[in-house]
Chains A and B, each alone.
Chain A
Amino acid sequence: MKPLPLFLALGMSLSPLHAAPTPSASSAPAELDRSHPPKAGPLPEVALPKTVSETLPNGLRLVVLPDHRQPTVTYRLLIRSGALYDGDSPGLADLCANLLNKGTTTLSAEEFASKTDFLGISVEASASDDAIAVMAFGLANYQKEILGFLRDAVLSPAFLAAEIDKEKRTTISELIANNADPSDLAARLRNRLLYGKHPYGAFPTPESVKAIRRDQLVAFHRTQFLPNHAMLAIVGDVDPQKALAEAKAAFDDWEKGEIPEAELTAFPTVKGVTIHLVDRPASVQSNILVAMPGVPRNNSDFPELQVVNSVLGGGFSGRLFSNLRERHGYTYGSYSGFGSRKLGGAFSAVAQVRNEVTAAATKEIFNELRRLRDSLIPETELELQRTYLAGNYLISLENNRRIAERIQEIDLYDLPADYWETYARRLTGVTPQKAEELARQYIDPENLVVVVVGKAQEVREQLEGLGPVTVYDTDLNPVSEKPAEKPAKQ
Chain B
Amino acid sequence: MKLRFLTPALPLLAAATLCAADPAASPLPSPSSAPSPTPILKMPVIEYTEYDLANGLHVILHQDRSVPVVATYVHYHVGSKNERPDRTGFAHFFEHLMFEGSKNIPRGQIDKLVSAAGGNLNASTSFDRTDYYFNLPSNQLGLGLWIESERMLHAQIDETGVETQRSVVKEERKTSVDNAPYGSVFENLASMVFEGTPYEWVPIGSVQYIDQATIEEFRDFYRHYYVPNNATLVVAGDIDLPETKKLIETYFGPIPRGKEIERPKFTLEPQKEAKKRSVELPTTPLPATLHAWRGPKETSPDAPALELLADILATGRSSRLYERIVRQEQSGNDVSVFPYLLENGGVIGIFVIGNPDSKLEKLDATLEEEIARVREKGVSAEELQKAKNQKISRLATAYSTMKQRAVFLADFHVMYGDTGLINRQLERIEGVTPEQIQEVARKYLDPKKNNILHYPVARDASPS
- Taking Cβ atoms with an 8 Å cutoff, the residues of A that contact B are 2-7, 14, 17-18, 25-28, 32, 34-44, 46, 69-72, 94, 98, 109-110, 113-114, 116-122, 126, 137-139, 141, 166, 169-174, 176-177, 179-182, 279, 281-285, 315-317, 321-322, 325-333, 335, 352-354, 383-385, 387-388, 390-392, 394-399, 457, 473
| A265 nearest CB across to chain B (Å) | 26
Q: Which A residues lie within 8 Å of B147 (CB)? A: 37
Given known contacts A180-B283, A383-B116, A46 and B67 CB-to-CB distance under 8 angstroms: yes
Report whether B396 and A179 are in contact in the complex, using a CB–CB cutoff of 8 Å. Answer: no
Report whether B1 and A27 are in contact in the complex, using a CB–CB cutoff of 8 Å. Answer: no
Q: Look across to chain A and name the residue whose beta carbon is closest to the beta carbon of B110.
A: A316
24 A/B residue pairs, CB under 8 Å, sorted by A: A6-B107, A7-B106, A17-B117, A25-B139, A27-B247, A34-B103, A37-B142, A40-B140, A71-B42, A71-B396, A117-B386, A170-B333, A173-B286, A173-B353, A173-B355, A173-B356, A284-B174, A316-B18, A332-B171, A352-B171, A384-B112, A391-B118, A391-B136, A397-B67
Report whether A7 and B108 are in contact in the complex, using a CB–CB cutoff of 8 Å. Answer: yes
- A392, B24: Cα distance in complex, Å: 12
Report whether A139 and B106 are in contact in the complex, using a CB–CB cutoff of 8 Å. Answer: no
**Which of B5, B115, B172, B178 is the one whose CB lies under 8 Å from A388?**
B115
- A47, B181: Cα distance in complex, Å: 44
| A159 nearest CB across to chain B (Å) | 17
Which of chain B's residues 85-120 have a Cβ closer than 8 Å to chain A? 103-109, 111-113, 115-120
Per the CB 8 Å criterion, the residue count for chain B at the interface is 106
Q: Which A residues lie within 8 Å of B68 (CB)? A: 44, 46, 394
Q: Which A residues lie within 8 Å of B246 (CB)? A: 28
Given known contacts A46-B68, A177-B181, A180-B283, A384 and B115 CB-to-CB distance under 8 angstroms: yes
| A379 nearest CB across to chain B (Å) | 13
Which of B161-169, B343-351, B429-437 binds A? B161-169
Report whether B250 and A28 are in contact in the complex, using a CB–CB cutoff of 8 Å. Answer: yes
Q: Which A residues lie within 8 Å of B111 (CB)? A: 315-317, 321
- A226, B109: Cα distance in complex, Å: 52
Report whether A387 and B116 are in contact in the complex, using a CB–CB cutoff of 8 Å. Answer: yes
Report whether B41 and A113 are in contact in the complex, using a CB–CB cutoff of 8 Å. Answer: no
Which of B188-196, B290-298, B301-309, B314-322 binds A? B314-322
**Which of A26, A174, A316 is the one whose CB lies under 8 Å from B140?**
A26
Which of chain B's residues 1-19 have a Cβ closer than 8 Å to chain A? 1, 3-5, 18-19
Q: Which A residues lie within 8 Å of B179 (CB)? A: 182, 283-285, 352
Report whether A326 and B140 are in contact in the complex, using a CB–CB cutoff of 8 Å. Answer: no
Which of chain B's residues 140-193 have a Cβ closer than 8 Å to chain A? 140-143, 146-147, 150, 163-168, 170-172, 174-175, 178-181
Which of chain B's residues 33-82 have a Cβ closer than 8 Å to chain A? 38, 40-44, 66-69
Report whether A354 and B171 are in contact in the complex, using a CB–CB cutoff of 8 Å. Answer: yes
**Which of A46, A170, A327 is the one whose CB lies under 8 Å from B326?**
A170
Report whether A317 and B112 are in contact in the complex, using a CB–CB cutoff of 8 Å. Answer: yes
Which of chain B's residues 213-266 have a Cβ closer than 8 Å to chain A? 238, 240, 243, 246-247, 250-251, 254
